[in-house]
Amino acid sequence: MHELSLCNSIQQVVNRAAGDRTVTVVHLRLGRLRQVVPDTLRYCWDLVTADSPLAGSELAIESVAVSARCNACAAGTTIADTLVLLCCECGSPDLELLTGEEFLITTLDLADSGADLG
């Protein structure tokens, strides 16, 4: 279960970025080729953060489809079945992947500090 080690790494990055601020949601972009199970990642996030300042925070995961450009016919394609990486137009396996390999923390939602800024 590599999702557990991924959550440990995410936690370290988020803790550095958040400082003393309370994080409510961690937003991730996760490509379908990453071989990460989103539900398992969320479960591991709850385990890893249980006794930390991130306890109770949510892991919001945006799934990114696999898309590619065919080097044979130049067609752009979104690949539905990630086990078969072929151009949907000409059937060529000569593809340049454009999306689907992402693993990126995009934003953090922070709790309102309640401080009056006015």
Amino acid letter, 117: L
What the chain holds in terms of domains, given with CATH numbers, is: 3-65+99-110 (3.30.2320.50)
pLDDT value of position 70: 93
pLDDT value of position 88: 85
Output the pTM of the full model. 0.83
CA 65 to CA 81: how far, in whole Å? 10
Reduced 3-state DSSP string for 34-100: HCCCHHHHHHHHHHHHCCCCCCCCEEEEEEECEEEEECCCCCEEEECCCCCCCCCCCCCCCEEEEEC
Q: Are 100 and 33 in contact (CB under 8 A)?
A: yes
pLDDT value of position 81: 72
When the pLDDT of each residue in the chain is averaged and rounded to a whole number, the result is 91
Tell whether the model's pLDDT for residue 114 goes beyond 60.
no
pLDDT value of position 116: 44
Tell whether the model's pLDDT for residue 21 goes beyond 90.
yes
Nearest Cα residue to 21 out of 115, 110, 116, 108: 110
Provide, rounded to the nearest whole percent, the portion of the chain with pLDDT above 70: 93
